[in-house]
Amino acid sequence: MQPHPGPRGPMLHPSLLPIAVALSLSACARHTTVSTAHQHVDNPGRRVVSAETIERTGARTAWEALQRTVPFFLFKDGNNGSAGRIEHRGRSSIMLRDQPMIIMDGVELNDFATLSVMPASDIEQIEVLSGIDATTYYGTGATKGVIRITTKGAGS
């Protein structure tokens, strides 16, 4: 494919221009840092929610804190108002696990009932890993993401 002549020399073929722009923008987006009212984003695959942010939401339990601060997931209550299911928003799979992995102080939670009785004030931070970050640290079982909860007493 020959480049088109332009007033200042050869130009990129018009059909390749959208691809060049998309590649340029994606390269720039990787190095941005965004800070919002609810979370801090250093990397598009990692979001951190601090204890101060959780306190500002007015959440009373860890389950409420997750519902109010963690994007990209649906938190469905059970029949009796306790923690039910967590689903990734968007497409789902019949073959793969639909729920994110929940890790509290290094231990995977399989039953979310503890989140509905745990006080939100006990949480130091919530870290949400998605995409390649989640699978890099936790393997293919984490394809729908990982929510890491660190409690205030975990370091002592």
pLDDT of residue 37: 45
Tens digits of per-residue pLDDT, 29-60? 443 333 344 445 556 678 899 999 999 999 99
Instruction: Give SS3 for 48.
Output: strand
Q: Tokens 């500002």 correspond to what residue?
A: 56
The structure's pTM equals 0.65
User: How confident is the model at residue 86, as a pLDDT?
Assistant: 74
Q: With a cut of 80, say whether residue 82 has pLDDT above it.
A: no
Q: Which two tokens stand for residue 85?
A: 């299911």
Both tokens of residue 58? 């007015």
The superfamily (CATH) of domain 33-151 is TonB-dependent receptor, plug domain (2.170.130.10)
What pLDDT sits at residue 17?
A: 59
The Cα–Cα gap between 6 and 45 comes to: 40
Over residues 97-112, the mean pLDDT reads: 85
Whole-number pLDDT of residue 93:
62
Q: Are residues 97 and 141 in contact, defined by beta-carbon separation less than 8 angstroms?
A: yes
Q: Per-residue pLDDT for 156 more than 70?
A: no
**CA 108 to the chain's CA centroid:** 17
Mean pLDDT, range 95-110, rounded to an integer: 82
Higher pLDDT, residue 14 or 131: 131
Average pLDDT score over residue span 116-131: 90
Q: What average pLDDT does the segment 125-140 reach? A: 88
Dihedral sign computed on CA atoms, order 25, 28, 30, 33: negative
Please state the φ and ψ torsions of residue 4, each to the nearest 5 degrees. Answer: -75, 140
Residues pairing with 75 in the sheet:
86
Please state, in angstroms and rounded to a whole number, the distance separating the CA atoms of residues 96 and 100: 11
The confidence score (pLDDT) of residue 148 equals: 93
Res. 15: pLDDT tops 90? no
